């Protein structure tokens, strides 16, 4: 026993089959509406993500240029500090040598002058008569 039925529109038994195409049309329309809403939502999200990605790229490029500039400034400062340190070492050595040389002969010269003045004063006091 095999029963076959032509398309649903032709298989109407008591109005049940007639309501099926209408409900299918409604569900299809609702499904299309839901799909359209989801698609619109996805498009908005994609646009927002694209805007955020552009903003992030702009901020990243700005930060990169600032960091490059800071690195250049830092490397220039390090070079200058190294040069100043070398110059300071050289000048410190020169000053140390100069002070060692100067102190020796200057110290002896001052000592001789002080002794000469001391002896001269003693002789001057002994030789000159006291005034009354």
pLDDT on residue 103: 64
User: How far is Cα 120 from Cα 86, in angstroms, rounded to an integer?
Assistant: 50
- Listed in sequence order, the residues at least 6 apart from 11 whose beta carbon sits closer than 8 Å to its beta carbon are 5, 17
pLDDT given at position 11: 46
Query: Can you tell me the distance from the alpha carbon of 111 to that of 55, in angstroms, rounded to the nearest whole number?
Result: 80
Residue 101 CB burial class (10 angstroms; 0-12, 13-18, ≥19): exposed
Average pLDDT, consecutive stretches of 10 residues, N- to C-terminus, the chain (132 residues): 47 48 85 94 96 96 96 97 96 87 78 97 86 65
What was the pLDDT predicted at 108?
Answer: 87
The pTM for the full model equals 0.45
Structural domain spans, the chain: 46-128
CB atoms within 10 A of CB 50: 10
Q: What is the pLDDT of residue 19?
A: 53
pLDDT for 10 equals 46
């Amino acid at each position: 026993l095999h029963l076959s039925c032509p398309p649903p529109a032709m298989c109407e038994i008591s109005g049940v089959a007639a309501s099926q195409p209408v409900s299918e049309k409604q569900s299809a329309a609702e499904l299309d509406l839901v799909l359209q809403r989801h698609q619109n939502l996805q498009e908005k999200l994609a646009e927002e993500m694209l805007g955020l990605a552009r903003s992030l790229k702009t901020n990243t490029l700005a930060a990169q240029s600032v960091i490059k500039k800071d690195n250049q400034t830092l490397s220039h400062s390090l070079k200058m500090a190294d040069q100043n340190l070398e110059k300071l070492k050289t000048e410190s050595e020169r000053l140390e040598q100069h002070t060692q040389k100067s102190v020796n002969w200057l110290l002896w010269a001052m000592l001789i002058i002080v002794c000469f003045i001391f002896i001269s004063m003693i002789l001057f006091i002994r030789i000159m008569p006291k005034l009354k």
